[in-house]
Amino acid sequence: MKIFRIAGLVCFLSLVACSSQKEAAAAAAQAAEPAGSSGHIEIRVKNGDSSNMESFNEIRAMRYVKEIVAFGPRPLGSANHKKVEDYIHAHLQGDLVEDDDFVVGTSEGKLPVHNIIAKYPGTRDGIIVIASHYDTNWPLRSTSYVGANDGASSSALLLEIANQLRGKTRDGYSVWLLWDDAEESMRLPWYDPEALYGVRHLAQKWQDDGTIKKMRAFLLEDMIGDADLNIDHDSNSTPWLEDMIYQSAKRLGYQSHFFGRMNTVDDDHKPFLERGVPSADLIDFEYGYNNVFWHTTDDTVDKLSPKSLQIVGEVTLETVRMLDKKP
């Protein structure tokens, strides 16, 4: 993704900064209330599978991160990329899965692109899409770059969200999980015309077949595993959806990890924003001081924390529940 500017460590609203301590106390009090009043994650019980009996499982999510990273660099068209495709598919067996495959012409030649969509139906008319890219950078394909935070963390998060959605009747919108491909730019640090291939193709396809009109929200996850988690307030994202994410974080007592910094981010939400879909990017674009680990071989699992996956996973699911209830 591309960042236009970083406004430094300032709060997005002085009002929020002033009240943040009070909010923390209020959220702590709210979190202490009995289940049901604070919007906790639903408990899923499946016969004989004790690993699926709790809420968002950050240990399992972290295991997924490590397993994706273990395949090595996963640039477009590589054997490793295919292994990760198969890995994601293997986790979605029995789910309603759609593949969106196409070939894209780039300055580096023709390359295959493979979007994967898992669909979990709801009772309400409309779709919430939660997305993450899973490819790693083409220019870094011959290095040891594995994108543990950039691509693997969010893709693992979606796999764990799939565990939470599977086998339930959603009393709300349908949720589609999208592992999109070819997000990364073909040149570093960023080159607009040769990036976001997967979502640009899908947004056009969904515009043509009418899906776009049914989309109530597009929630993007990117670089969400950093142990020092500070999700940016993105000025490109839809303001009311950003507000809803912050309210979700507050309800769960996680608001200190959200929106302490304002950024303007071009990312996979762009083609959906351009088509009028309410969209938000959950991204922490300060990965190490001055973002030093971003797009380097230092983007490794030792910089990540299961707690960060849990925070973003639970806030995402809480946001979905708030969207379900939105008039």
User: Of the candidates 234, 245, 303, which has an alpha carbon nearest to the alpha carbon of residue 269?
Assistant: 234
Q: How far apart are CA 279 and CA 294, in angstroms?
A: 23
Which ranges of 43-78 would DSSP assign to H, the alpha helix?
Answer: 58-70
128's enclosing H/E stretch is strand 122-133
Does residue 284 interact with Zn ion by CB under 5 A? no
Q: For residues 58 and 150, which CB has a smaller minimum distance to Zn ion in the complex?
A: 150
Instruction: Confirm if 98 and 120 have CB atoms less than 8 A apart.
Output: no
Q: Which is nearer to Zn ion, 132 or 310 (CB)?
A: 132
Residue 221 near Zn ion by CB under 5 A: no
115 DSSP β-pair partners: 100
Task: Tell me how far apart the alpha carbons of residues 230 and 227 are, in angstroms, rounded to a whole number.
Answer: 9
Q: How far is the CB of 294 from Zn ion (least distance, A)?
A: 7
Closer Cβ to Zn ion, 150 or 314, answer by number: 150
Q: Smallest distance, Å, CB 146 to Zn ion?
A: 12
Which residue's CB is nearer to Zn ion, number 150 or number 242?
Answer: 150
Stretch that binds Zn ion, among 26-34, 147-155, 195-203, 208-216 (CB under 5 A): 147-155
Q: What share of the chain is helix, strand, coil (3-state, %, to 5)?
A: 40, 25, 35
Single out the residue of 142, 137, 115 nearest to residue 186, CA to CA. 137
Nearest to 67 by CA among 80, 55, 78: 80
Minimum CB–partner distance for residue 222 and Zn ion (Å): 8
Q: Distance (Å, rounded) from C-alpha 197 to C-alpha 190?
A: 13
**150 near Zn ion, rule: CB under 5 A:** yes
We find the least distance from the C-beta atom of residue 295 to Zn ion, in angstroms, to be 6
User: Which region among 50-58, 149-157, 163-171, 312-320 touches Zn ion (by CB under 5 A)?
Assistant: 149-157
Q: Which of 161, 164, 111, 120 is nearest to 141 (CA)?
A: 111
Q: How far apart are the first and last CA of the chain?
A: 32
Looking at beta carbons only, is 85 or 150 nearer to Zn ion? 150
Query: Cβ of residue 66: shortest distance to Zn ion, in angstroms?
Result: 19
Indicate the residue among 57 and 308 with the shorter CB distance to Zn ion. 308
Q: Scanning residues 28 to 57, which ones bind Zn ion (CB under 5 A)? A: none
Give the shortest CB-221-to-Zn ion separation in angstroms: 13
CB of 282 to Zn ion, least distance (A): 15
Q: Which is nearer to Zn ion, 150 or 180 (CB)?
A: 150
Candidate segments 9-17, 40-48, 118-126, 145-153, binder of Zn ion by CB under 5 A: 145-153
Look up residue 174 and give its two tokens. 């349908």
Place of tokens 């692109």: 113
Residues contacting Zn ion: total by CB under 5 A: 1
Q: Does 181 bind Zn ion (CB under 5 A)?
A: no
Which residues contact Zn ion by CB under 5 A? 150
